[in-house]
Amino acid sequence: MADNKATLKIGDKEIEFPILEGTAGAAVIDVRTLGASGYFTYDPGFMATGSCESQITYIDGAAGVLLHRGYPIGELARDADYLEVCYMLLHGEAPTTEEYEKFKLTITNHTLVHDQVNNFFRGFRRDAHPMAMLCGTVGAMASFYHDDLDIVDPEQRLRSAYRLVAKMPTLVAMCYKYNIGQPFVYPSNKLSYAENFLNMMFSVPAEPYKISPAVSRAVDRIFTLHADHEQNASTSTVRLAGSSGANPYACIAAGVASLWGPAHGGANEACLNMLEEIGTVDRIPEFINKAKDKNDPFRLMGFGHRVYKNTDPRATVMRESCHEVLAELNIDDPLLDVAMELERIALSDAYFAEKKLFPNVDFYSGIVLKAIGIPTNMFTCIFALARTVGWISHWHEMLSQPGQKIGRPRQLYTGHTQRPFNKIPK
Ligand code: SDX
Protein backbone atom coordinates (compact mmCIF):
# COMPACT_ATOMS: atom_id res chain seq x y z
CA MET A 1 0.00 0.00 0.00
CA ALA A 2 1.42 3.48 -0.93
CA ASP A 3 2.04 5.99 1.86
CA ASN A 4 0.86 9.07 -0.07
CA LYS A 5 -1.73 11.24 1.62
CA ALA A 6 -4.83 13.32 0.93
CA THR A 7 -5.30 16.63 2.73
CA LEU A 8 -8.75 17.95 3.63
CA LYS A 9 -8.98 21.65 4.43
CA ILE A 10 -11.94 22.57 6.68
CA GLY A 11 -11.93 26.21 7.69
CA ASP A 12 -8.47 26.93 9.06
CA LYS A 13 -7.91 23.25 9.83
CA GLU A 14 -6.06 20.78 7.58
CA ILE A 15 -6.59 17.07 8.09
CA GLU A 16 -4.42 14.45 6.40
CA PHE A 17 -5.62 11.00 5.40
CA PRO A 18 -3.56 8.11 4.03
CA ILE A 19 -4.24 7.00 0.45
CA LEU A 20 -4.30 3.21 0.18
CA GLU A 21 -3.60 1.57 -3.16
CA GLY A 22 -4.71 -1.94 -4.13
CA THR A 23 -3.29 -4.22 -6.80
CA ALA A 24 -5.79 -2.87 -9.37
CA GLY A 25 -8.51 -0.25 -9.66
CA ALA A 26 -9.12 2.95 -7.71
CA ALA A 27 -6.95 3.86 -4.75
CA VAL A 28 -8.94 4.79 -1.62
CA ILE A 29 -8.69 7.63 0.86
CA ASP A 30 -8.68 6.08 4.32
CA VAL A 31 -11.13 8.31 6.25
CA ARG A 32 -11.44 6.10 9.31
CA THR A 33 -10.07 8.93 11.51
CA LEU A 34 -12.35 11.64 10.05
CA GLY A 35 -15.05 11.24 12.73
CA ALA A 36 -12.74 12.78 15.35
CA SER A 37 -12.94 16.06 13.40
CA GLY A 38 -16.74 16.19 13.94
CA TYR A 39 -17.37 15.51 10.25
CA PHE A 40 -18.62 12.39 8.45
CA THR A 41 -18.49 11.61 4.75
CA TYR A 42 -21.87 11.56 3.01
CA ASP A 43 -22.42 9.11 0.16
CA PRO A 44 -25.97 7.64 -0.06
CA GLY A 45 -25.91 4.65 -2.43
CA PHE A 46 -22.15 4.36 -1.81
CA MET A 47 -21.37 5.79 -5.26
CA ALA A 48 -17.78 6.59 -4.21
CA THR A 49 -17.30 4.58 -1.02
CA GLY A 50 -15.16 1.51 -0.49
CA SER A 51 -16.78 -0.57 2.26
CA CYS A 52 -14.05 -3.18 2.66
CA GLU A 53 -10.82 -4.66 1.41
CA SER A 54 -11.36 -7.75 -0.73
CA GLN A 55 -9.36 -10.13 -2.93
CA ILE A 56 -12.27 -12.06 -4.44
CA THR A 57 -13.59 -10.16 -7.49
CA TYR A 58 -12.42 -7.15 -9.43
CA ILE A 59 -14.47 -5.09 -11.90
CA ASP A 60 -13.10 -2.44 -14.23
CA GLY A 61 -16.35 -0.67 -15.16
CA ALA A 62 -14.86 1.45 -17.94
CA ALA A 63 -13.03 -1.46 -19.60
CA GLY A 64 -15.82 -4.00 -19.03
CA VAL A 65 -13.49 -6.33 -17.12
CA LEU A 66 -14.64 -8.87 -14.50
CA LEU A 67 -12.06 -11.03 -12.72
CA HIS A 68 -12.68 -13.75 -10.15
CA ARG A 69 -9.44 -14.27 -8.19
CA GLY A 70 -7.72 -12.69 -11.22
CA TYR A 71 -9.26 -15.03 -13.81
CA PRO A 72 -11.28 -13.26 -16.58
CA ILE A 73 -14.98 -14.16 -16.62
CA GLY A 74 -14.93 -14.99 -20.35
CA GLU A 75 -12.25 -17.65 -19.84
CA LEU A 76 -14.03 -19.08 -16.80
CA ALA A 77 -17.36 -19.25 -18.66
CA ARG A 78 -15.63 -21.04 -21.54
CA ASP A 79 -13.13 -23.34 -19.80
CA ALA A 80 -14.31 -23.86 -16.21
CA ASP A 81 -17.48 -25.18 -14.66
CA TYR A 82 -19.44 -23.57 -11.86
CA LEU A 83 -18.02 -25.76 -9.09
CA GLU A 84 -14.48 -24.80 -10.14
CA VAL A 85 -15.53 -21.15 -9.85
CA CYS A 86 -17.09 -21.87 -6.43
CA TYR A 87 -13.82 -23.43 -5.28
CA MET A 88 -11.70 -20.47 -6.39
CA LEU A 89 -14.09 -17.91 -4.88
CA LEU A 90 -13.98 -19.72 -1.54
CA HIS A 91 -10.34 -20.78 -1.48
CA GLY A 92 -8.52 -18.10 -3.51
CA GLU A 93 -7.03 -20.29 -6.23
CA ALA A 94 -8.40 -22.46 -9.04
CA PRO A 95 -8.49 -26.09 -7.86
CA THR A 96 -6.17 -28.83 -9.05
CA THR A 97 -7.93 -31.82 -10.55
CA GLU A 98 -7.61 -33.64 -7.21
CA GLU A 99 -8.92 -30.65 -5.24
CA TYR A 100 -11.79 -30.27 -7.72
CA GLU A 101 -12.86 -33.90 -7.48
CA LYS A 102 -12.75 -33.76 -3.64
CA PHE A 103 -14.74 -30.52 -3.59
CA LYS A 104 -17.30 -31.88 -6.04
CA LEU A 105 -17.78 -34.98 -3.86
CA THR A 106 -18.18 -32.81 -0.74
CA ILE A 107 -20.83 -30.65 -2.41
CA THR A 108 -22.63 -33.70 -3.81
CA ASN A 109 -22.80 -35.24 -0.35
CA HIS A 110 -24.46 -32.16 1.16
CA THR A 111 -27.29 -31.65 -1.35
CA LEU A 112 -30.06 -33.13 0.82
CA VAL A 113 -31.94 -30.78 3.15
CA HIS A 114 -33.35 -31.86 6.52
CA ASP A 115 -36.65 -33.59 5.77
CA GLN A 116 -38.50 -31.23 8.10
CA VAL A 117 -37.74 -28.42 5.63
CA ASN A 118 -40.58 -29.89 3.57
CA ASN A 119 -42.94 -28.78 6.33
CA PHE A 120 -41.93 -25.13 6.00
CA PHE A 121 -43.32 -25.10 2.48
CA ARG A 122 -46.73 -26.27 3.69
CA GLY A 123 -47.18 -22.86 5.32
CA PHE A 124 -46.87 -20.98 2.02
CA ARG A 125 -49.72 -20.29 -0.40
CA ARG A 126 -49.32 -22.45 -3.50
CA ASP A 127 -48.98 -19.30 -5.60
CA ALA A 128 -46.40 -17.68 -3.29
CA HIS A 129 -43.59 -15.97 -5.20
CA PRO A 130 -40.62 -18.38 -5.24
CA MET A 131 -38.30 -15.67 -3.88
CA ALA A 132 -40.58 -15.27 -0.84
CA MET A 133 -40.35 -19.02 -0.23
CA LEU A 134 -36.60 -19.08 -0.82
CA CYS A 135 -36.02 -16.19 1.56
CA GLY A 136 -38.05 -17.99 4.22
CA THR A 137 -36.55 -21.45 3.81
CA VAL A 138 -32.93 -20.29 3.59
CA GLY A 139 -33.41 -18.33 6.80
CA ALA A 140 -35.05 -21.40 8.36
CA MET A 141 -31.88 -23.39 7.67
CA ALA A 142 -30.35 -21.41 10.54
CA SER A 143 -32.62 -23.39 12.86
CA PHE A 144 -30.85 -26.61 11.85
CA TYR A 145 -27.28 -25.27 11.99
CA HIS A 146 -26.89 -22.91 14.88
CA ASP A 147 -26.20 -24.37 18.31
CA ASP A 148 -22.81 -25.90 17.56
CA LEU A 149 -21.79 -23.42 14.87
CA ASP A 150 -18.64 -21.45 15.72
CA ILE A 151 -18.15 -18.88 12.94
CA VAL A 152 -14.77 -17.90 14.38
CA ASP A 153 -13.47 -21.30 13.21
CA PRO A 154 -12.58 -21.05 9.48
CA GLU A 155 -13.23 -24.78 8.98
CA GLN A 156 -16.79 -24.39 10.34
CA ARG A 157 -17.29 -21.30 8.16
CA LEU A 158 -16.24 -23.29 5.11
CA ARG A 159 -18.55 -26.17 6.12
CA SER A 160 -21.45 -23.67 6.23
CA ALA A 161 -20.38 -22.44 2.80
CA TYR A 162 -20.29 -25.96 1.35
CA ARG A 163 -23.73 -26.73 2.82
CA LEU A 164 -25.20 -23.56 1.31
CA VAL A 165 -23.68 -24.11 -2.15
CA ALA A 166 -24.91 -27.71 -2.03
CA LYS A 167 -28.42 -27.07 -0.74
CA MET A 168 -29.49 -23.96 -2.66
CA PRO A 169 -30.37 -25.94 -5.85
CA THR A 170 -32.46 -28.31 -3.72
CA LEU A 171 -34.32 -25.42 -2.05
CA VAL A 172 -34.84 -23.54 -5.33
CA ALA A 173 -36.22 -26.63 -7.04
CA MET A 174 -38.52 -27.22 -4.03
CA CYS A 175 -39.90 -23.67 -4.46
CA TYR A 176 -40.75 -24.47 -8.09
CA LYS A 177 -42.26 -27.88 -7.34
CA TYR A 178 -44.37 -26.39 -4.56
CA ASN A 179 -45.66 -23.71 -6.93
CA ILE A 180 -46.76 -26.25 -9.53
CA GLY A 181 -48.08 -28.84 -7.08
CA GLN A 182 -45.64 -31.59 -8.04
CA PRO A 183 -43.78 -33.73 -5.49
CA PHE A 184 -40.32 -32.63 -4.41
CA VAL A 185 -37.56 -34.53 -6.22
CA TYR A 186 -34.60 -35.60 -4.13
CA PRO A 187 -31.03 -34.86 -5.28
CA SER A 188 -29.25 -37.55 -7.28
CA ASN A 189 -25.57 -38.04 -6.50
CA LYS A 190 -24.80 -39.49 -9.91
CA LEU A 191 -25.57 -36.21 -11.68
CA SER A 192 -23.44 -33.07 -12.09
CA TYR A 193 -24.38 -29.92 -10.19
CA ALA A 194 -26.35 -28.42 -13.10
CA GLU A 195 -27.85 -31.78 -14.17
CA ASN A 196 -28.96 -32.44 -10.60
CA PHE A 197 -30.67 -29.04 -10.46
CA LEU A 198 -32.50 -29.65 -13.75
CA ASN A 199 -33.54 -33.09 -12.58
CA MET A 200 -34.95 -31.74 -9.30
CA MET A 201 -36.77 -29.04 -11.27
CA PHE A 202 -38.24 -31.00 -14.15
CA SER A 203 -38.27 -34.72 -13.42
CA VAL A 204 -41.35 -36.43 -12.00
CA PRO A 205 -41.39 -39.76 -10.14
CA ALA A 206 -43.67 -41.24 -12.78
CA GLU A 207 -41.13 -41.30 -15.60
CA PRO A 208 -37.43 -40.83 -16.37
CA TYR A 209 -36.26 -37.32 -17.27
CA LYS A 210 -33.81 -36.87 -20.16
CA ILE A 211 -31.31 -34.10 -19.47
CA SER A 212 -30.15 -32.15 -22.52
CA PRO A 213 -26.35 -31.65 -22.46
CA ALA A 214 -26.83 -28.25 -24.14
CA VAL A 215 -29.28 -27.16 -21.46
CA SER A 216 -27.16 -28.37 -18.54
CA ARG A 217 -24.13 -26.63 -20.08
CA ALA A 218 -26.14 -23.42 -20.43
CA VAL A 219 -27.40 -23.65 -16.85
CA ASP A 220 -23.89 -24.24 -15.53
CA ARG A 221 -22.67 -21.22 -17.49
CA ILE A 222 -25.52 -19.06 -16.17
CA PHE A 223 -24.49 -20.06 -12.64
CA THR A 224 -20.88 -19.08 -13.39
CA LEU A 225 -21.90 -15.71 -14.87
CA HIS A 226 -23.90 -14.85 -11.75
CA ALA A 227 -21.51 -16.25 -9.12
CA ASP A 228 -20.06 -13.03 -7.72
CA HIS A 229 -19.82 -9.33 -8.49
CA GLU A 230 -17.80 -7.32 -5.91
CA GLN A 231 -19.79 -5.26 -3.37
CA ASN A 232 -23.19 -5.18 -5.12
CA ALA A 233 -26.30 -4.48 -3.04
CA SER A 234 -26.99 -8.07 -1.97
CA THR A 235 -23.35 -8.88 -1.21
CA SER A 236 -23.06 -5.72 0.85
CA THR A 237 -26.24 -6.79 2.66
CA VAL A 238 -24.69 -10.14 3.52
CA ARG A 239 -21.48 -8.48 4.72
CA LEU A 240 -23.37 -6.00 6.91
CA ALA A 241 -25.58 -8.73 8.39
CA GLY A 242 -22.54 -10.95 8.94
CA SER A 243 -20.54 -8.15 10.58
CA SER A 244 -22.68 -8.55 13.70
CA GLY A 245 -21.78 -12.24 13.95
CA ALA A 246 -25.20 -13.39 12.74
CA ASN A 247 -25.83 -16.96 11.63
CA PRO A 248 -24.57 -17.43 8.02
CA TYR A 249 -27.86 -18.93 6.80
CA ALA A 250 -29.71 -15.88 8.14
CA CYS A 251 -27.14 -13.64 6.39
CA ILE A 252 -27.71 -15.43 3.08
CA ALA A 253 -31.48 -15.03 3.55
CA ALA A 254 -30.80 -11.28 3.85
CA GLY A 255 -28.87 -11.46 0.58
CA VAL A 256 -31.81 -13.24 -1.08
CA ALA A 257 -34.12 -10.48 0.12
CA SER A 258 -31.91 -7.71 -1.27
CA LEU A 259 -31.38 -9.47 -4.60
CA TRP A 260 -35.16 -9.71 -5.14
CA GLY A 261 -35.54 -6.03 -5.99
CA PRO A 262 -36.15 -5.17 -9.69
CA ALA A 263 -33.23 -2.73 -9.62
CA HIS A 264 -30.95 -5.66 -8.75
CA GLY A 265 -31.41 -9.37 -9.31
CA GLY A 266 -35.14 -9.03 -9.94
CA ALA A 267 -34.25 -7.35 -13.24
CA ASN A 268 -34.11 -10.62 -15.21
CA GLU A 269 -37.74 -11.39 -14.33
CA ALA A 270 -38.70 -7.74 -14.93
CA CYS A 271 -36.79 -7.72 -18.23
CA LEU A 272 -38.64 -10.72 -19.61
CA ASN A 273 -41.97 -9.30 -18.46
CA MET A 274 -41.01 -6.07 -20.28
CA LEU A 275 -40.10 -7.95 -23.49
CA GLU A 276 -43.42 -9.76 -23.32
CA GLU A 277 -45.22 -6.42 -22.76
CA ILE A 278 -43.43 -4.93 -25.78
CA GLY A 279 -44.45 -8.06 -27.67
CA THR A 280 -43.44 -7.03 -31.19
CA VAL A 281 -40.57 -5.12 -32.74
CA ASP A 282 -42.83 -2.29 -33.97
CA ARG A 283 -43.69 -1.33 -30.36
CA ILE A 284 -40.05 -0.85 -29.30
CA PRO A 285 -39.90 2.93 -30.06
CA GLU A 286 -42.89 3.50 -27.71
CA PHE A 287 -40.96 1.88 -24.84
CA ILE A 288 -37.69 3.61 -25.70
CA ASN A 289 -39.53 6.93 -25.43
CA LYS A 290 -41.05 5.92 -22.08
CA ALA A 291 -37.56 5.08 -20.78
CA LYS A 292 -36.31 8.52 -21.89
CA ASP A 293 -39.28 10.40 -20.43
CA LYS A 294 -38.17 11.98 -17.15
CA ASN A 295 -41.79 12.08 -15.98
CA ASP A 296 -42.21 8.36 -16.55
CA PRO A 297 -40.72 6.06 -13.86
CA PHE A 298 -40.39 3.29 -16.49
CA ARG A 299 -36.89 1.95 -16.91
CA LEU A 300 -35.63 -0.37 -19.63
CA MET A 301 -35.06 -3.47 -17.53
CA GLY A 302 -31.83 -5.28 -18.29
CA PHE A 303 -30.10 -2.03 -19.27
CA GLY A 304 -27.59 0.03 -17.34
CA HIS A 305 -25.28 -0.72 -14.48
CA ARG A 306 -23.84 1.11 -11.50
CA VAL A 307 -20.28 0.10 -12.33
CA TYR A 308 -20.05 -0.97 -15.99
CA LYS A 309 -20.19 2.08 -18.23
CA ASN A 310 -19.53 0.51 -21.62
CA THR A 311 -20.31 -3.17 -21.54
CA ASP A 312 -21.16 -5.89 -19.04
CA PRO A 313 -18.77 -8.72 -20.01
CA ARG A 314 -21.24 -11.25 -18.68
CA ALA A 315 -23.90 -10.04 -21.11
CA THR A 316 -21.49 -10.68 -23.97
CA VAL A 317 -21.02 -14.31 -22.91
CA MET A 318 -24.72 -14.67 -22.10
CA ARG A 319 -25.64 -13.37 -25.55
CA GLU A 320 -23.48 -16.07 -27.18
CA SER A 321 -25.04 -18.68 -24.89
CA CYS A 322 -28.48 -17.43 -25.79
CA HIS A 323 -27.94 -18.00 -29.48
CA GLU A 324 -26.28 -21.40 -28.88
CA VAL A 325 -29.13 -22.66 -26.71
CA LEU A 326 -31.89 -21.42 -29.01
CA ALA A 327 -30.10 -22.96 -32.02
CA GLU A 328 -29.39 -26.28 -30.25
CA LEU A 329 -32.97 -26.51 -29.01
CA ASN A 330 -34.22 -25.29 -32.38
CA ILE A 331 -36.27 -22.59 -30.67
CA ASP A 332 -37.30 -19.59 -32.69
CA ASP A 333 -38.45 -17.28 -29.89
CA PRO A 334 -39.93 -13.99 -31.15
CA LEU A 335 -38.85 -12.48 -27.84
CA LEU A 336 -35.25 -12.91 -28.96
CA ASP A 337 -36.06 -10.91 -32.08
CA VAL A 338 -37.57 -8.20 -29.87
CA ALA A 339 -34.52 -8.35 -27.55
CA MET A 340 -32.02 -8.12 -30.41
CA GLU A 341 -33.88 -5.20 -32.04
CA LEU A 342 -34.29 -3.47 -28.66
CA GLU A 343 -30.55 -3.82 -28.07
CA ARG A 344 -29.78 -2.45 -31.54
CA ILE A 345 -32.11 0.55 -31.22
CA ALA A 346 -31.10 1.33 -27.62
CA LEU A 347 -27.39 1.22 -28.42
CA SER A 348 -27.87 3.60 -31.36
CA ASP A 349 -29.93 6.09 -29.35
CA ALA A 350 -28.16 9.23 -28.09
CA TYR A 351 -29.93 9.06 -24.70
CA PHE A 352 -28.63 5.58 -23.97
CA ALA A 353 -25.15 6.50 -25.17
CA GLU A 354 -25.16 9.62 -22.98
CA LYS A 355 -26.42 7.73 -19.92
CA LYS A 356 -24.09 4.81 -20.75
CA LEU A 357 -26.96 2.32 -20.77
CA PHE A 358 -26.33 -1.04 -22.45
CA PRO A 359 -27.57 -4.60 -21.89
CA ASN A 360 -26.41 -6.03 -18.55
CA VAL A 361 -26.23 -9.66 -17.46
CA ASP A 362 -29.97 -9.79 -16.83
CA PHE A 363 -30.91 -8.82 -20.38
CA TYR A 364 -30.08 -12.13 -22.05
CA SER A 365 -30.22 -14.45 -19.04
CA GLY A 366 -34.01 -14.21 -18.96
CA ILE A 367 -34.29 -15.30 -22.58
CA VAL A 368 -31.99 -18.30 -22.02
CA LEU A 369 -33.85 -19.31 -18.87
CA LYS A 370 -37.19 -19.05 -20.66
CA ALA A 371 -35.79 -21.11 -23.57
CA ILE A 372 -34.81 -23.94 -21.23
CA GLY A 373 -38.24 -23.96 -19.63
CA ILE A 374 -37.64 -22.02 -16.41
CA PRO A 375 -40.76 -19.93 -15.60
CA THR A 376 -40.20 -16.17 -15.34
CA ASN A 377 -40.99 -15.97 -11.63
CA MET A 378 -38.13 -18.41 -10.96
CA PHE A 379 -35.44 -16.32 -12.67
CA THR A 380 -34.29 -14.45 -9.59
CA CYS A 381 -34.18 -17.68 -7.60
CA ILE A 382 -31.70 -18.98 -10.19
CA PHE A 383 -29.69 -15.79 -9.70
CA ALA A 384 -29.79 -16.28 -5.90
CA LEU A 385 -28.72 -19.92 -6.29
CA ALA A 386 -25.70 -18.86 -8.34
CA ARG A 387 -24.81 -15.84 -6.20
CA THR A 388 -24.86 -17.76 -2.91
CA VAL A 389 -21.21 -18.76 -3.38
CA GLY A 390 -20.27 -15.10 -3.88
CA TRP A 391 -22.21 -14.02 -0.83
CA ILE A 392 -20.75 -16.69 1.43
CA SER A 393 -17.22 -16.16 0.07
CA HIS A 394 -17.41 -12.49 1.05
CA TRP A 395 -18.84 -13.45 4.45
CA HIS A 396 -15.97 -15.92 4.97
CA GLU A 397 -13.36 -13.35 3.80
CA MET A 398 -14.78 -10.65 6.08
CA LEU A 399 -14.66 -12.91 9.15
CA SER A 400 -11.14 -14.02 8.21
CA GLN A 401 -9.85 -10.45 8.32
CA PRO A 402 -8.16 -9.25 11.53
CA GLY A 403 -9.82 -6.30 13.29
CA GLN A 404 -13.18 -6.92 11.59
CA LYS A 405 -15.78 -4.54 13.08
CA ILE A 406 -19.57 -4.41 13.04
CA GLY A 407 -20.81 -2.20 10.20
CA ARG A 408 -22.44 0.93 11.58
CA PRO A 409 -22.82 3.85 9.09
CA ARG A 410 -23.57 7.38 10.36
CA GLN A 411 -26.00 9.94 8.82
CA LEU A 412 -26.80 13.53 7.96
CA TYR A 413 -29.57 14.32 10.47
CA THR A 414 -32.17 16.82 9.24
CA GLY A 415 -34.95 16.05 11.72
CA HIS A 416 -36.18 18.10 14.70
CA THR A 417 -33.66 19.36 17.18
CA GLN A 418 -34.47 18.68 20.83
CA ARG A 419 -37.91 19.91 21.93
CA PRO A 420 -40.11 19.21 24.99
CA PHE A 421 -42.74 16.47 24.84
CA ASN A 422 -46.20 17.75 25.89
CA LYS A 423 -48.11 14.94 27.59
CA ILE A 424 -51.64 14.63 26.13
CA PRO A 425 -54.66 14.20 28.45
CA LYS A 426 -55.65 10.47 28.40
C1 SDX B 1 -27.66 -6.26 -11.35
O2 SDX B 1 -24.24 -3.95 -8.64
C3 SDX B 1 -24.15 -5.04 -9.33
O4 SDX B 1 -23.09 -5.56 -9.59
C5 SDX B 1 -25.47 -5.66 -9.73
C6 SDX B 1 -25.37 -6.88 -10.60
C7 SDX B 1 -24.74 -8.03 -9.89
O8 SDX B 1 -24.24 -8.94 -10.58
O9 SDX B 1 -24.84 -8.08 -8.65
O10 SDX B 1 -24.64 -6.61 -11.76
C11 SDX B 1 -26.75 -7.37 -11.02
O12 SDX B 1 -28.35 -5.81 -10.49
C13 SDX B 1 -27.63 -5.68 -12.76
C14 SDX B 1 -28.56 -4.43 -12.89
C15 SDX B 1 -29.96 -4.97 -13.13
N16 SDX B 1 -30.94 -3.87 -13.07
C17 SDX B 1 -31.61 -3.49 -14.15
O18 SDX B 1 -31.43 -3.94 -15.29
C19 SDX B 1 -32.72 -2.48 -13.87
C20 SDX B 1 -32.62 -1.32 -14.86
N21 SDX B 1 -31.39 -0.58 -14.59
C22 SDX B 1 -31.49 0.55 -13.71
O23 SDX B 1 -32.38 0.44 -12.67
C24 SDX B 1 -30.13 1.16 -13.38
O25 SDX B 1 -29.41 1.21 -14.53
C26 SDX B 1 -29.27 0.51 -12.31
C27 SDX B 1 -30.01 0.36 -11.00
C28 SDX B 1 -28.80 -0.82 -12.74
C29 SDX B 1 -28.06 1.41 -12.09
O30 SDX B 1 -28.53 2.58 -11.60
P31 SDX B 1 -27.54 3.77 -11.13
O32 SDX B 1 -26.12 3.51 -11.47
O33 SDX B 1 -27.84 4.07 -9.72
O34 SDX B 1 -27.92 4.94 -12.10
P35 SDX B 1 -29.15 5.88 -11.87
O36 SDX B 1 -30.33 5.09 -11.42
O37 SDX B 1 -28.70 7.02 -11.04
O38 SDX B 1 -29.44 6.36 -13.38
C39 SDX B 1 -28.53 7.28 -13.99
C40 SDX B 1 -29.34 7.90 -15.11
C41 SDX B 1 -30.71 8.40 -14.62
O42 SDX B 1 -31.07 9.49 -15.45
P43 SDX B 1 -30.80 11.00 -14.84
O44 SDX B 1 -31.46 11.05 -13.47
O45 SDX B 1 -29.27 11.13 -14.77
O46 SDX B 1 -31.43 11.89 -15.86
O47 SDX B 1 -29.62 6.89 -16.10
C48 SDX B 1 -31.02 6.68 -16.18
C49 SDX B 1 -31.64 7.26 -14.92
O50 SDX B 1 -32.97 7.70 -15.19
N51 SDX B 1 -31.21 5.23 -16.26
C52 SDX B 1 -32.09 4.62 -17.03
C53 SDX B 1 -31.89 3.25 -16.81
N54 SDX B 1 -30.93 3.06 -15.89
C55 SDX B 1 -30.51 4.30 -15.55
N56 SDX B 1 -33.02 5.09 -17.90
C57 SDX B 1 -33.76 4.16 -18.54
N58 SDX B 1 -33.62 2.80 -18.38
C59 SDX B 1 -32.70 2.33 -17.53
N60 SDX B 1 -32.57 1.00 -17.37
Q: What is the pLDDT of residue 347?
A: 83
| 394: CATH | 1.10.580.10
Based on the domain organization, do 211 and 264 belong to the same domain? yes
Q: 34: domain CATH number? A: 2.20.28.60
Number of domains in the chain: 2
Q: Residue count of the chain, please give it.
A: 426
Query: Looking at the domain assignment, is residue 28 inside a domain?
Result: yes
The answer to whether residue 415 is domain-embedded is no
Q: Is the pLDDT of residue 1 over 70?
A: no
Same domain, 106 and 225: yes
Report how far apart, in Å, the C-alpha atoms of 46 and of each of 35, 43, 118, 236, 312 are: 18, 5, 39, 10, 20
CA–CA distance, 285 with 22 (Å, rounded to integer): 44
Q: Same structural domain for residues 234 and 362? A: yes
Would you say residue 185 lies in a domain? yes
77 domain residue, yes or no: yes
Candidate from 51, 239, 264, 379 with most ligand 1 atoms within 8 A of CB, to mutate: 264
Does ligand 1 lie within 6 Å of residue 111's CB atom?
no
CA 148 – ligand 1 centroid, Å: 42
H or E element at residue 319: helix 313-328
Q: Do residues 42 and 169 both lie within one domain?
A: no
Q: Residue 418 domain-assigned?
A: no
Note the pLDDT of residue 321. 86
pLDDT digits (tens, 9 = 90+) for 153-185: 999 999 999 999 999 999 999 999 999 999 999
93 and 9 in one domain?
A: no
State pLDDT tens for residues 52-103: 999 999 999 999 999 999 999 999 999 999 999 999 999 999 999 999 999 9
Has residue 426 been placed in a domain? Answer: no
pLDDT of 2 above 60: no
Residue 190 sits in the same domain as residue 75: yes
Residues 182 and 322 in one domain: yes
Domain assignment present for 410: no
CB of 59 closer than 6 angstroms to any ligand 1 atom: no
Contact 107 CB / ligand 1 (< 6 Å): no
- Average pLDDT along the chain: 94
Q: Is 314 in the pocket of ligand 1 (CB under 6 A)?
A: no
Q: Whose CA is nearest to atom 5 of ligand 1?
A: 232
Q: Are residues 212 and 281 in the same domain?
A: yes
Cβ count within 10 A of residue 314: 28
Record the pTM.
0.93
Same domain, 31 and 96: no
Same domain, 46 and 81: no
The residue whose C-alpha atom lies closest to atom 42 belonging to ligand 1 is 355
* Residues with catalytic function: 305, 362
Ligand 1 atom nearest residue 233's Cα = 2
User: Are the C-beta atoms of residues 301 and 270 closer than 8 Å to each other?
Assistant: yes
Print the domain residue range for 44. Answer: 5-50
Indicate if 19 and 107 belong to the same structural domain: no
Query: Does pLDDT of 125 surpass 70?
Result: yes
In a domain, 249, yes or no: yes
